[in-house]
Amino acid sequence: MTDTPEKQTKPRRLVLPVVIVVAVLSLLYYQLRTGDPQSLPSVLIGKPVPDFQLAALPGAPSPTGLPVPGFSSDELKKGRVSLINVWASWCAPCQVEHPLITDLARQGIPVYGINYKGDTPEGAKRFLSRLGNPYKAVGVDDTGRVAIDFGVYGVPETFVIDGAGRIAYRHAGQLTEEVIAQKIKPAMEKAAKAPPQS
């Protein structure tokens, strides 16, 4: 007994949808693997930091023994180039880059930390107790509103802020020694030469 032409074409009709699905999934996978978060544009470069006031992380460990304050946008307008690092204790790349943030702070660079939404105070304190607290101040962004205003796509992200409180550079993703040498430090040097706010 032989198959009828109708029975022979049914399996062939199923092949085309499967091939299309596999092709689309392959394309999506390729796009996800080749995306570069550092190339995400920021419309805020050259503009003042958004207005904000962030409360302190209660009980944050401090190398000086004094309470670690929160901070506001006004703190970033005092004439000195600084960094803002957006981080969370559950973020693995944040843990990897943390020694580099600590090294920048040891070089005398004012580094402000924004503890990103979804973190818990206990988790954030454990993170800083275990890895050290390099931040001049740590503000808790428990709603994520400040991160949204900065255009943060995810953690970690680091911003260079000029002395007038303008965003001079944004780095999305984990910092590396190369990124610091080739991007962050040159952006800081350029920001130091920026004219004062008019």
Ordered mean pLDDT values, 10 residues apiece, the chain (198 residues): 56 66 61 50 88 96 91 96 98 98 97 96 97 97 96 96 97 97 97 79
| Residue 194: predicted pLDDT | 82
3-class DSSP string for the chain: CCCCHHHHHHHHHHHHHHHHHHHHHHHHHHHHHHCCHHHCCCCCCCCECCCCEEEECCCCCCCCCCCCCCEEHHHHHCCCCEEEEEECCCCHHHHHHHHHHHHHHHCCCCEEEEECCCCCHHHHHHHHHHHCCCCCEEEECCCCHHHHHHCCCCCCEEEEECCCCEEEEEEECCCCHHHHHHHHHHHHHHHHCCCCCC
Both structure tokens of 95: 């843990």
Q: How confident is the model at residue 36, as a pLDDT?
A: 46
| Whole-model pTM over 0.85 | no
The domain segmentation of the chain, as residue ranges, is 5-35, 38-192
- Residue 13 structure tokens: 């009709």
Q: Provide the pLDDT for residue 48.
A: 96
Q: What's the rounded Cα separation, in Å, for the pair 25 and 72? A: 44
The dotted CATH code for 38-192 is: 3.40.30.10
β-pair type (71-72, 82-87): unpaired
